[in-house]
Structure 1
Amino acid sequence: MSLRLRKHIEEIITLSDAEFDYILSHFELKKFRKHQYVVQEGNDVDQEYFVLEGLLKSTYLNEDGKEHILQFSMENWWVTDYQAFNNHEKATLNIDCIEDVIVLVLTDSNKNKLCSEMHKMEHFFRIKTNTGYVGLQQRILSFLKFDARSRYMHLIEKYPQLYQRVPKTLMASYLGVSRETLSRFSA
């Protein structure tokens, strides 16, 4: 499983075996069951998760009790409540497992240690953060620029495996449409 992390990191930087072993020593392997929370609103967040296996969803619950899905996270994705993680605040998001999940956990202190000791890792995380920011910007712009059908088609084109793994009610919520509307798109 650690090979997945190495391959992921080496998409951006090159590592010797000793460097990767040192990096890996800063992570902890954890397993979560379907429907289990990885991050829960109101709790402290000092961990970031690299998904080895499984699927998670990040959600925000508004004052009316309506759940809004911000993102899905699958293999080779990083996930946490980044506002809470970076600002040392309580979580405003819930992150829970749609499937059984195996993750590598990196604490804030271990991430900072790696970045201060290894310029390569600081570079890696900067690139990953920038890529994540671009993805978030594209998601917001898709709601401003495109109708629901276009958002659906783009999602299926970019992440076809999600459609097979995410329950249709969650997919509809993510796209901002009803379950019935989603059914018409996929018919």
Structure 2
Amino acid sequence: MEQLRKHIEEISSISDEEFEYIKSFFAVKKVRKHQYLIHQGDEVKYEFLVKSGIFKVFYLDSQGKEYIVQFAQENWWMSDYYAFFKQQSAEMYIECLEEGEVICLTLESREKLAAELHKMEHFFRIKLSNGYIALQQRIKLLLSSNPQQRYEEFAKSYPSLLQKVPKKLIAEYLGVSRETLSRLYQH
């Protein structure tokens, strides 16, 4: 849980007593490679902070085509946020690509922490804002750039993922064919 404390303290400093209280709201879960944290149709009980490993958040359209919304690695948050905050059935899947661990937090615990500790409300607000900004940037990139630009931005922003995530999945995330990605990767 020391990783959780460091993660929180990147935004809000907390005392030992506060952290003892905060950590009581979180649970750690080990996850095997190819294990799913969320399936479409599930009740979404948690948002997850990645402690270790790599995960993909994706959805399937009515024809079964997969669309990767996010890769998540250490210190990244993930969930099917629509389902999590609206307390509805999942539309997304979360799959573990590399064995790891996640730190789990329920919506009820999140709300209680935010209501009781201004520092945690501030932490969650900053994290949510940063996630929203990253999502807008991703959408803008997908809508207004060519495959080369999308690849270069991905390589610049997430160099470690280039080495750890299969090229087929990177191509899917970038919205290009595997062949196109191979050409871009050689440049």
TM-score by length of 1: 0.98
SS in 1 for 2:91: coil
Structure 2 unmatched ranges of 5 or more? none
Matches within 5 A, 1:159-178: 159-178=158-177
Question: What is the CA–CA distance in structure 1 between the aligned matches of 2:172 and 2:27, rounded to whole Å?
Answer: 32
CA distance in 2, matches of 1:144, 1:42: 29
Q: Give the Å deviation of 1:35.
A: 0.6
Return the offset for 1:106: 0.6
SS at match of 1:69: strand
> How many angstroms does 1:186 deviate by?
1.0
Q: Does 1:26 align with 2:3?
A: no
Task: Give every structure 1 segment of 4 or more consecutive aligned residues whose post-TM-superposition deviation is greater than 3 Å.
Answer: none
SS at match of 2:126: helix
1:126 equivalenced with 2:125 (yes/no): yes
Q: Which amino acid aligns with 1:118?
A: L
Q: CA deviation at 1:12?
A: 0.8
In the alignment, does 2:88 pair up with 1:89?
A: yes
Q: Who is 1:105 aligned against? A: 104
Q: Could you say which residue in structure 1 is the equivalent of 2:183?
A: 184
Match of 2:58 in 1: 59
> How far apart are residue 21 of structure 1 and its match?
1.4
Partner of 2:36: 37
SS for the counterpart of 1:54 is strand
SS in 2 for 1:91: coil
Q: Distance in 2 between matches of 1:46 and 1:126?
A: 20
CA RMSD after TM alignment = 0.7
- Report % sequence identity: 51
